[in-house]
Each structure stands twice: as C-alpha cells, then as structure tokens.
C-alpha cells in the first residue's frame, strides 16, 4: 500500500474526529474542516516524511493545531481592522447544532487558547494528560492546571452545569488517567 493510499484511509477514519476536535477549538465548523483538510494536504505533499511518522493521527492533529494557531493570529489582525470600521467580517457558523453543543462551543471560545486546547484534546480527542502535554509542548502539571482552571471557568460560564456533567464528566488523577 502506498503512502497516499494510507493517507486516504486515514482521512476516511480520522478526518471527522479531527474536524470535531478542531471545531471545539476554533468555534467555526467550516474553519475546522479547512484546517483539517490543510493538514491532510501537507501530508500528501510530503509522503516520504509522512510515511515515517509513528503516530499519523497525532501528527495530523498537531499540524492542524498549528495551522489553526496561525490562522488565529491572522484573524486577530483582521479583527482589529474590522473593529476600526475598515472591514465587515462575516463569521461562518454551523447550523443544526443542539443548544447544548452551541453553548459549550461558545463557552470554550471564551477560554484562553491554551486552556481551550487542553480541554479539547483531553475531553474530546480523548488523549491522556501525558499525550496532551506532548501535543501542546508543555508539562503534565501545566496540562492538569489548565484542565482544572478550564473546568471551573466552564462551570461558571454555562447556565446549566448539566452541560458539564454530560460533556466533561472526568477528572484527572496523578497518573494522568481519568476517573469519575
């Protein structure tokens, strides 16, 4: 099987999961789809390098996160121009989402980017604390701190804490494993 065939199979299996994770980070479904697609394009552009990757989905997630961060920085400039009245930004939103989903994504968007990324990778991507730390380039303790602070902020932000118990039920123990 060629590397391109492996990438196609991985796209079919992992793209929906990655889009969901990036949507939770970006708050924009179309943006999440674009970011994930760009990550796969980069994999296809470098089949030799991608073929050497030990954990392809983790590599794609990291690439997608980096693309999203770059786009975020560019959007910050765009937002300043829009606030100055020189531009009229149109922000795409996904239709057909449940009110709980919309509320959670909106609350996630109000978190600082590092906390939002930790929450998404841990709770939505279902990575261990150790894997989240590796993906974000920080210590395990930093991830645990981000998760605790993010959960508190989300609980305070959401009107109904049932959102949290149904979406973010787990806590982290010392070994980086989940427990109820």
Average pLDDT of every residue of the chain: 80
137 vs 11, 29, 47, 131, 145, CA distance in Å?
25, 25, 25, 10, 14
Q: Which CATH number applies to 96-180: 1.10.10.10, 3.40.50.150, 2.60.40.1930, 3.40.1110.10?
A: 1.10.10.10
Q: How far apart are CA 32 and CA 25, in angstroms?
A: 8
Q: What is the DSSP letter of 175?
A: T
For the question of whether the overall pTM of this predicted structure is more than 0.85, the answer is no
pLDDT for residue 96: 64
Q: For 56-110, what is each residue's pLDDT tens digit?
A: 999 999 999 999 988 887 777 666 666 665 544 444 445 566 777 777 888 888 8
What would the mean pLDDT of 99-123 be, rounded to a whole number? Answer: 86
How buried is residue 2: exposed, middle or buried, by Cβ count under 10 Å (0-12/13-18/19+)? exposed
Instruction: Pick 99 or 43 by higher pLDDT.
Output: 43
Question: What are the sequence ranges of the domains in the chain?
Answer: 1-95, 96-180
pLDDT at 97: 67
Nearest one of 18, 159, 31 to 102, comparing CA atoms: 159
Check residue 95 and report its DSSP letter.
Answer: S
Query: What is 1-95's CATH topology?
Result: Rna Polymerase Sigma Factor; Chain: A (1.10.1740)
Rounded to whole angstroms, the Cα distance separating 35 from 90 reads: 18
């Amino acid at each position: 099987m060629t590397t391109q065939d492996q990438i196609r199979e991985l796209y079919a299996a992992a793209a929906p999961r990655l889009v969901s994770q990036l949507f939770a980070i970006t708050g924009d479904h179309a943006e999440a789809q674009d970011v994930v697609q760009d990550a796969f394009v980069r994999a296809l552009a470098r089949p030799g390098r991608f073929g050497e990757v030990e954990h392809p989905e983790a590599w794609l997630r990291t690439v997608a996160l980096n693309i999203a961060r770059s786009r975020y920085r560019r959007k910050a400039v765009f937002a300043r121009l829009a606030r100055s009245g020189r531009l009229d930004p149109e922000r795409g939103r996904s239709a057909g989402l449940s009110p709980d989903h919309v509320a959670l994504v909106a609350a996630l968007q109000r978190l600082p980017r590092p906390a939002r990324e930790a929450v998404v990778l841990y709770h939505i991507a279902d990575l261990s604390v150790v894997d989240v730390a590796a993906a974000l380039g920080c210590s395990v303790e930093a991830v645990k701190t981000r998760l605790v602070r993010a959960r508190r902020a989300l609980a305070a932000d959401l009107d109904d804490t049932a959102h949290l118990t149904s979406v973010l039920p787990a806590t982290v123990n010392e070994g980086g494993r989940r427990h109820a």
